[in-house]
Amino acid sequence: MSHSDIRSAIRPQPDQPMVDIADYVIDGRIESEEAYDTARYMLLDSLACAMLAMKFPDCVKHLGPLVPGATLAGGAMVPGTNFELDPAQAAFNIGTQVRWLDFNDTWLAAEWGHPSDNLGTILAVADYLSRRELRDGGKPLTVRDVLGWAIKAHEIQGVYALQNSFNRVGLDHVILVRLASTAVATAMFGGGREDVITAVSHSWIDNGALRTYRHAPNTGPRKSWAAGDACRRAVIHALNVTQKNVVGYPSALSAKTWGFYDVAFGGKPFAFERPFGSYVMENVLFKISFPAEFHAQTAVECAMRLHPLVRGRIDEIERIEIETQEAGVRIIDKTGPLANYADRDHCIQYMVAVPLIHGRLTASDYNDDIAADPRIDALRAKMTVRENPQFTRDYFDPDKRYIGNSVQVFFTDGSSTDKVSIDYPIGHRKRRGEGIPVLLAKCEAALRAQLGSGQVERIMALAADPAKFDATPIDQFMNLYRV
């Protein structure tokens, strides 16, 4: 391209990926009842994670208005609190709650992430719009409406993640939370096809947050509120387009020199495995048993199986061999001192050591008091982590989406346990029948830890009645989580 071509002021047609998102969000029909069924459990599970997070002061300190007193009577409600906030700040609050403990759903591919992070935006906007409609004599949105928007947000984030690795260029996966949430929030605020294209262009122009806070030697708690930050930014983009009539940037991706592809993606356009539908919600992974980075979920299950065989022989262990996928090696294989909670829940060695010793892995097991047990670091020092190529192949296979790990313990007397291998965790689609009762038990326990018994009974009764659940106005549903 010549210098004069670069300087041309002729407005191009919008980049096709932005058009495709807009067409899907505005016109796409979700026909899959499996997707809606899964979305119900996703919503319950995500709010359970939010309630569990309320037990952690480092999470709670982020909640509420950005500055003291900046509440909004009749605004969006923050579950587990009595805060009513503007939809942007409420999106930050809810997104932070859902994500704080690394216990909400997960999607793994070339990029990884947590599609239910988008609920920060969706619930805040839906609740705000519903309360506004009720004040003006209109009709509120229902839980069914929220589930439909969530399916679309899951799909956008997940389909982009299948073949586009943002982590390999140093960008955090919450870039896709902002993208998906911006698109659906714009439509929820009444925007049309062109509005969604405009809002999405602004999302891409934001570029992305660096993954610095997720990796040694800088791992820190920003990773727990980064999704909330993306949710808040998405609402701002949606409001700017639908309320302020800002202009869009049609070649935000493809513009030479200045577009996202050239600036941040090595000049490569995005690649796509499939069109948008409901594939991601149907196949999403639930974190049911353990609040652990998902690449380690089956490793924790392996360690739990080994615990009865090693608990009386911890001092006799000579070495522990862990095999995982390539992504697991790259993200959570971590040696040396672990500085904080965020360091520990992204260390596969830590997440294997605790269940080997204690026969459990809970959110509290990442706290300083548990980490002070010298046996944990002693076991970590005896571990080797390596890639199993078959685990990696199965990880990328679209018909499997496995997250395999194996663990084997060797003792100083020359004996060893069997190698325990698990291909996919209890939260996988192939284990839905086994997993859903455990997910509901996780949900009820989390609710009872934060809400009154009457509230818990009403929520669990709704969970048992899908038709009534779906028909519930979203403002009434959110009020069930009010404290």
Q: CA 251 to CA 262: how far, in whole Å?
A: 12
* pLDDT grade for 4, boundaries at 50, 70 and 90: very low
Reply yes or no on domain 294-425 having CATH 3.30.1330.120. yes
Span 35-48, pLDDT tens digits: 999 999 999 999 99
- Distance of alpha carbon 115 from alpha carbon 122, whole angstroms: 12
The band of 5, judged by pLDDT with boundaries at 50, 70 and 90, is low
Find the mean pLDDT for residues 305-332: 97
The fold for domain 13-283 equals 2-methylcitrate dehydratase PrpD (1.10.4100)
10 vs 23: CA distance, rounded Å: 24
302 pLDDT more than 50: yes
Residue pair 76/141 in contact by the 8 Å Cβ criterion: no
Whether 3 shows a pLDDT value over 50: the answer reads no
* 8 A C-beta contact, residue 363 and residue 344: no
DSSP notation for 69-105: T---TTSEE-TTS--EE-HHHHHHHHHHHHHTTS-S-
Higher pLDDT among residues 3 and 363, named by residue: 363
List the chain domain ranges. 13-283, 294-425
Residue from 419, 420, 443, 439 nearest 431 by CA: 439
Task: Specify the DSSP class assigned to residue 163.
Answer: H
Q: Which stretches does DSSP call E strand in 347-442?
A: 383-387, 405-411, 420-422
Within 8 A by CB and 6+ apart from 148, the residues are: 30, 36
Residue 75 has pLDDT above 70, yes or no: yes
- 225-261 per-position pLDDT tens digit: 999 999 999 999 999 999 999 999 999 999 999 999 9
The dihedrals phi and psi of 248, each to the nearest 5 degrees, come to -100, 175
- pTM confidence score: 0.89
pLDDT band at 2 (very low <50, low <70, confident <90, very high): very low
